[in-house]
Amino acid sequence: MRQILLASLLLWLVSGVQAQEYSSYADQLSRLQALSKAWPSLVKLQSITKTNGGKDCWLLTIGTGKTESKPAIAVIGGTEGNHLLGVEMALGFAENLLKGSGTDSIKNLLARTTYYVFPNMSPDATEQYFAKLRYERYGNATDTDDDRDGKLNEDGVDDLDGNGKITLMRIASPIGDYRTHPDDARILVKADAAKGEKGKYRLLTEGFDNDKDGYLNEDGEGGIALNKNFTYKHNTFAAGSGDYPASEKETRAMLDFLFDAFNVYAVVSFGSNNNLSTPIAYNPLLARERILAGYLEPDARVNGMVSELYNKVTGLKDAPRTNPGGGDLLSWGYFHYTRYSFSTPGWWVPKAKADTAKKEKPFTVEDPAANYLRWAQQQGITNTFTEWKTIQHPDYPDQQVEVGGLDPFVLVNPPYKLVGGIVKKHTDFLVKLAGQQAEIDVVNLKTEKLGNGLTRIRLDLINRGGLATHPKLAERSYFLKKLKVAVNNTGNQQIVGGKKITLLNSLEAAGSQSFSWLIKGNGKLTIDVGCPTAGTKQVEVTL
């Protein structure tokens, strides 16, 4: 009882720190330490690396007993520096799970499942949200030469209107390719030349050409972005990708841990990529390429099944379609780690319907910014748009230049009052996903005396779970530990028929396989079955 009261008090104190706003790096650390203190028997907190910006990347291991011997789900937040919600979802999931650890359902869950929670893998970038100058940053604190001129970080963003945030800059130009939105003059949209539309503006990020090379903001404190630094289809030399895959401490530390964690069967990451609301469809051409570029058919079916579960639990609709850009965590998790890999932003701006009572009309041009402004107005959300303001710009002395537009972060992070509900839904999903994990069992165990000291042993190996023990793609991996069936006979026992050790690539959901052995001798022996991603079981047989 005392431990429960202490845990509740610590959670109340920590939640009070960040009740009205997203959590800074210091807030996140306080919340993690509170969990470690409140549930020492269920939680292990460790730093897996320290970024070039001097910030720890934390790992929270949640489970009972030997956590490394139980099937596990990796939950990863902070995959992209502008996605503060992902950090809240990962950390909030850990808090919700532990808060309910006194219930029988969560006790049973943690007795058979381990969660590896990486709350924030981009702490250098997410901290920009809390800085004096607020702008959407993706990269870490690694110095980069994005324009390849031999200088580092010499042309970053500049706050031209002095409001402490970086928005947009529109420049009136007869050769511009943007025009005002026909339904909301505050927003600019691309002019469609095929429809005879003419642009009136150039649209750039707020700033100067600091290095006078004719380009604006092309080499700032961009750093290397985690979600561009993974190994699958890495865009080498592209801005923010790093000169080679896994070049960054954060990426390497997480990969080192996960490749050693043979018990992980699924990776769930929070970021812009999304195969949960809308699953990745099976494409036979991509799935047959020499360098695999598409999901194998059985794995696409699993993605569809998990997507259906996700949509049922969260009730989210109108999800934006996304295409992984290469070097991303979602793709690495499936194609190179060969585990089930899922990702979701967790929230997106709902489609705002026209309010006919206020004489609003449906948009003639669909645009995320225009939709956001209409939705925000309907929700009573204010102060998220900077009105256009004319400035004198030294790089464009004879042109009309205005600064303004949507504030940073608002398109991908909801008002904080919505975060609790979002976290609750995704906690429920992560719990139900664990309910689908593969579960190995032995049934129909029979022994038959044959005379001359011989005994026939028969059994059926079954998978009681809703997922296969391994994705289909894992059959091509020599690194994963396969499903093993091993007979542990003693010195006076001889295996006459059947294999002492059998390795299976996988066992499908609700699948089974029969085994039999002929043993000469007497006494007792044991048979071990299982694998790290589905658990193990031992049965004892008397000859």
Is pLDDT at 82 greater than 80 in this prediction?
yes
* Residue 495 CB neighbour total at 10 angstroms: 16
Provide the pLDDT confidence category of residue 155 given band limits of 50, 70 and 90: very low
CB-based contacts of 487, cutoff 8 Å, min separation 6: 495, 498, 500, 501, 517, 519, 525, 527
CB-based contacts of 283, cutoff 8 Å, min separation 6: 294, 295
Sign of CA dihedral 109, 111, 113, 118: positive
CATH superfamily of 40-129+223-348+414-434: Zn peptidases (3.40.630.10)
Provide the pLDDT confidence category of residue 13 given band limits of 50, 70 and 90: very low
**Residue 41 identity (one-letter amino acid):** S
What is residue 56's DSSP assignment? Answer: E
Is pLDDT at 406 greater than 50 in this prediction?
yes
**Residue 438 identity (one-letter amino acid):** A
Residue 488 in tokens: 């542990």
Q: How many angstroms separate the CA atoms of 245 and 372, rounded?
A: 35
**Topology given in CATH for the domain delimited by 440-542:** Immunoglobulin-like (2.60.40)
> What does the domain layout of the chain look like in residue ranges?
40-129+223-348+414-434, 147-219+351-406, 440-542
Average pLDDT over residues 194-214: 82
Q: How many angstroms separate the CA atoms of 269 and 1, rounded?
A: 35
Contact 148, 389 (CB under 8 A): no
> Mean pLDDT for the chain?
91
**What pLDDT is attached to residue 395?**
86
Tens digit of each residue's pLDDT (9 = 90 or more) over 207-228: 876 666 656 555 456 789 999 9
**What pLDDT is attached to residue 291?**
85
Residue 173 in tokens: 């130009």
**What pLDDT is attached to residue 5?**
44
Question: In degrees rounded to 5, what are phi and psi of residue 341?
Answer: -130, 125
Query: Where do the H-state alpha helices sit in 51-160?
Result: 84-99, 104-112, 123-126
Burial 33-63 (b: 16+ CB within 10 A, else e): ebbbebbeebbebeebbebeeebbbbbbbbb
Tens digit of each residue's pLDDT (9 = 90 or more) over 290-310: 889 999 999 999 999 999 999
Query: Where do the H-state alpha helices sit in 368-465?
Result: 368-379, 419-434
Q: What percent of the chain has pLDDT over 90?
A: 80
Provide the pLDDT confidence category of residue 206 given band limits of 50, 70 and 90: confident
The strand order across the sheet containing 43-50 reads 43-50, 56-62, 114-118, 72-76, 264-270, 340-344
Average pLDDT over residues 417-432: 98
**What pLDDT is attached to residue 282?**
94
Tens digit of each residue's pLDDT (9 = 90 or more) over 97-140: 999 999 999 999 999 999 999 999 999 999 999 999 999 999 99
**What pLDDT is attached to residue 1?**
44
Provide the pLDDT confidence category of residue 4 given band limits of 50, 70 and 90: very low
Tens digit of each residue's pLDDT (9 = 90 or more) over 246-287: 999 999 999 999 999 999 999 999 999 999 999 999 999 999
